[in-house]
Structure formats: structure tokens, C-alpha cells
Structure 1
């Protein structure tokens, strides 16, 4: 299947967005996107480049669900132009930097899918900077920590994706448990090691869930914030991308992911007063998700298969290690 947009059409979109006949000198599809096409368009500028997001169905590598996704499900596929626009507005309100949306269109008059032309932040990612310039990365990490403080300070007594805040008749921890059980069942059908450990993992999930205390206050979180989802602008500011999953949820869900992705650099982002019982449940649930999700993606024709296989295998090993940890006293 052809998963690449027509470059001539993309060039036309950029010229509409910028309101000028700025020459397009090159277009490249960036690797890694699994739910939308992400293209860098090089220009005779200024600007010298912009990004184009395309939500064409053929650029979504995830297996198509048989049922329409529930827009209120915090864990449903977080993608689409409306979610990008809502998240961009919410981040601006919170004082958190993300790429500016220069132009967007859902009429399909100019292109046969929802599209957006986005500010390019070409200085690179925090992930790259952590390898190439650790001292500068440390400065960006502190800026990111300040951004997260502003983001998480926005709270509500309902949870869910932006525009769909409810109480859902259940709690965040119950929703996470239900999702983790589904991931465990699906993963066990795909890997015999997970199948053998299924009873122990299921028991650990329920034991951890039973220790979590009720809560009625939720924070605005990114949800999947790794160093690859943080760009660095020319001023050294952190810039959040892949923001469509922005939602109000338990802050521990955010920190479980930050721990997982930032490793020893997480100390710059750590905060006090997190619920350790909630964190322990969410760590295990997140590992299960990162086993089953990549395996599901590999059912299709996702091109970067080796990294996905490594993600699934690493998180399977971490899942098995987590259930060997002794339960702390209540």
C-alpha cells in the first residue's frame, strides 16, 4: 500500500497556508509516525521549512477497529485535527510551548484528508541533545520541568480527553486496571512467556489496584511525553509535540511514563507528593501496554519494525521483573 502523500499536493497546501508562492525545494516524510503522516517541507523561505500533518486513513498504520472509537475514552487512539487544535489551545492557555498551527483545513477541498501546516522547530529533539550535548540538555530539562509544572497545575474534578470530561461511572485507577487486563489477555495470546505469567501478573494488578486511595482531582497531562516528543527551539525552550493525547487524568500516569522514558534524567522532572501506590499500578499497566501495543502495530505493514520489536521485548522483560518485586507493606 502507498503510505506517502503526493508531494505536489503538499507543496500546494504550504503555499495556501503561507499566502505566498514561496518555492518548495524539497519534501521528506519523517519516520516514526504511526497515526498520521508527518512531512518536513523545505522552502526557499523565509521560513526555510514548515511541517505538514496529514490524517489520511492510509497513513494510519494501526489496524482499523471494527467499532467506532469512543471519543470519551482516554485511551482511545489519540489522533485527528480537532484534537490537535484543542490541545494547542489548551497548551497556549497553560503557557506551555508547542509548534504553532499556521493553517489547517478539514473541508477536503484542497486535500482528500484533514491537514495542518505547522511551525517547524528544526533545532532537533531533546532526545538527540541528551546524547550530543548533555550540559545543554540539562538546561532544557529544567525548562521542561517548569512547563510541566504549569501544565499539571491545571486541574479539574472530571477526567478524560479534552472536550469529553466526565466521571464515566468509574475511577482512573479502575479504568487503568481494565485496560491493563485487556492488554494482558491480548499479549498472552501473542507471547507464550506472557501467557505463562498471566496468573501472577493479573493477581499483581489487582493487589496494586486494591491499595489505591480514591481521588477526585485530575491534572492536565501530555500522556506520552518522552524526550523524542520534546523539541528544542533556537531560544533553548522545550517544545511539546504529539500533543493530540492531551487529557485530564491522574498526574501519576504522566510521571510513570516520564520515569520510563527519561531514565536517570527523570530526577530533573520528579515532583513530591505523588501517590506511590497509584504509581506502582500505573508502572505495571504501562509496561503491559508497551508490550501489546507494538505487537498489535506489527500485525500491519508498519515500516520501522525492528524498533517496535525491541520496544515490545524490552517492556515484556520489565513486566516480568516488576511482578518479582516484593509488595511493600500497606
Structure 2
């Protein structure tokens, strides 16, 4: 199957060949749906003739809209907290770490990173059919409060799972010790200044306040002491990255970027994505100065990142333009309010 951008996506025949040794050749694949929304991997729902379904994840260059030239800038190295997290290694290690912490993720049926059968990594996982938390919140906000409470419990379990090192779970647990360390604040500041430069080059209103924004970032970062340990966070936990299972339990997806980092980073993103419903996830004890720095940094990232993605052939261009425009406005408002 070839996309409008000339990318080679998987068709039913290829999916059936991958599925047969895993689920039995007596089962026949009757439908394959490529799910929308991802920018780093392909996600396919696979339906069999006996009613069973699974989700197939595919990590290949054709599925990765960031490619080799559009990768998000790593603040320190290719193994930094914000480095490009795409691949089976990140998926498996993050999933195992979250499960060990008591957090629900889709159950893994089979994974192959050998590339002996295909020139890409792939995995079959549980098909969680209860829809997204985003849809539940839109359809029945009051009824979804119990799911939000369970998500809050999962976040607390993650916060208790700590590490003295920062970085992607796969790098912290399986990678070599870094040559030199860096605090979360240092990493965020470095990345925010990169994002500021890219945003200013692309958006006139950001260019006009570039030096003021730089000064605000550096002022906020100054004097924040490094922490000895860091919590486990998802990194991009919006309601669209939470599925709901048959028992109304939240199930975290898009987990490759899970990392050990300041939990304030997670809560800034939660506040952005959950809006008023963030009140059900709010916790006490967050560092206000870190939170303010991370808020400005994330809004800058949500200007630069979508526009960077549009340098390639990402299909939903209007959506990315709207994200960048919205966060441009929020960034300017944050500066005006200082």
C-alpha cells in the first residue's frame, strides 16, 4: 500500500504473512486498518475471521515522518532524554518498566527486532477496544472521573519508581553510563534555546521577542538545584495516549519516550493536554520554579516541533499548523504576564 506521499505502508497480504506464525495459520486476516495519528511508527488494527483482533506496531523509515533529517533536537546527545525515541528497544523496555511499576500497558503478544523476516522491527500487542480517554472525556466527563482517578494512581506509582540518572528508560536501564551527567534543568534549557531559535526563524512574532524569551528562560533556570533522583514519566501523556480497557482501567500507549526525569515536566504536559480536567490529576509538592520554566519550554517546543515536522511530508498539515499557532499565542501571553 503506497500513501499519497509515496511511502510504502503495509497491505493486508504482508500483515497476514507476519501474523500467521504468531497466531496460527488457521486464522485468516480479514481486515487491516492503519490507524491515524502517529508520526514515528505505523499502527495497524488487524481483525481475524474468528473475531480476534490485535494491534501491529511497525518501526520503519516509511512510517517515521521525522526521518533522518527532521529528528527532534537532542539537548545533549543521541541518548539524551529528548532524543529520537523510535524502535522496538524503547517499546519493550519502557513497557516492562511500566508494568513493573504497576502501570497498565497493552499486553505484548510477540515482538521481532531481528529483521530476519522483514527489514523493520515489528510487534503484535493487545487490541484495547474501549476507545481513548480523550473520547470518554468528551462524551461523558462525569462518568470518566473514575478513569481519571485511576490514571492519577498510575502516575503516583510512576513517580515512586525513581533513578539517579535521567534519560529514556532503555538508555538508563540498558545503556552505558554517560560520560558526563546533566541536570533536568540544564537539558530543558538547552533544548528550549534550540526551539526558540527555530521558532524565531519561522514565526515573526516569536522573532520579535526572542531576546526577551531567552532572558526569561535563563532567569527561571538560574539557581534551580539538581535533584538526586528522578521519577518515571511518560513524557507526552495526553488523553489520546490513554486507552480504556473493558474494566475501565487506563492503558498507556505511545510509550517509547518514557523516561526518568523531573515529574514537573509530566505535569506541565498533562495541564496543557487535559485542560480543566487536569484538576483531577494535580498533585501537591511540585516545584513552582521548575514548573514555570518547563511550561515556557514546552510551549516553545510545541511551536518549533510541529513546524519542523512540516518540513517533511507529514499528511495532516493543517492540524500541525494549528498546534504551532495556538502555542505561539500561549508563549507570547506567558512572556507578557511576567
Indicate the larger mover: 307-316 or 163-172: 163-172
Residue 76 to residue 135, structure 1, CA distance change in 2 (3 Å)? same
The answer for unaligned runs of 5 or more in structure 2 is 1-5
Out of 231, 234, 240, the position equivalent to 1:222 is 234
Q: Are 2:57 and 1:57 equivalent residues in the alignment?
A: no
Residue 39 of structure 1 is matched in structure 2 by 44
Per-residue deviation at 1:46?
Answer: 4.6
Conserved? CA contact 2:70–2:311, under 8 Å: no
**Mapping of residues 109-128 of structure 1, within 5 Å:** 109-128=116-135
Q: Are 2:99 and 1:92 equivalent residues in the alignment?
A: yes
Conserved? CA contact 2:166–2:261, under 8 Å: yes
The answer for unaligned runs of 5 or more in structure 1 is none
Residue 294 of structure 2 is matched in structure 1 by 282
Deviations 1:277-318 (CA, angstroms, capped at 9, x unpaired): 000000000001111010010111101111111111111111
Indicate the larger mover: 57-66 or 276-285: 57-66
Deviations 1:87-111 (CA, angstroms, capped at 9, x unpaired): 1110110110000111111222322
Indicate the larger mover: 193-202 or 16-25: 16-25
Deviation beyond 6 Å, 4+ runs, structure 1: 66-69
State how many pairs are aligned: 325
Q: Are 2:25 and 1:23 equivalent residues in the alignment?
A: no
Give the distance between the partners of 2:124 and 2:32, measured in 1 at CA. Answer: 13
Conserved? CA contact 1:87–1:243, under 8 Å: yes
Give the distance between the partners of 1:247 and 1:57, measured in 2 at CA. Answer: 23
Indicate the larger mover: 19-28 or 287-296: 19-28
Q: Are 2:306 and 1:301 equivalent residues in the alignment?
A: no
Per-residue deviation at 1:71?
Answer: 4.3
Give the distance between the partners of 1:83 and 1:253, measured in 2 at CA. Answer: 20
Deviations 1:17-56 (CA, angstroms, capped at 9, x unpaired): 2234312111111111100111111122352x11111111
SS at match of 1:8: helix
Residue 311 of structure 1 is matched in structure 2 by 323
Residue 3 of structure 2 is matched in structure 1 by none
Conserved? CA contact 2:61–2:67, under 8 Å: no
Deviations 1:174-214 (CA, angstroms, capped at 9, x unpaired): 11000000000011111111111101111110111114233
SS at match of 1:292: helix
**Mapping of residues 1-330 of structure 1, within 5 Å:** 1-47=6-52, 49-65=53-69, 70-165=77-172, 168-326=180-338
SS at match of 1:33: coil
Per-residue deviation at 1:5?
Answer: 1.6
Q: TM-score normalised to the size of structure 2?
A: 0.92
Give the distance between the partners of 2:192 and 2:222, measured in 1 at CA. Answer: 14
SS at match of 1:224: coil
SS at match of 1:260: helix
SS at match of 1:164: helix
CA RMSD of aligned residues (A): 1.7
Per-residue deviation at 1:77?
Answer: 1.2
Per-residue deviation at 1:58?
Answer: 1.2
Residue 317 to residue 235, structure 1, CA distance change in 2 (3 Å)? same
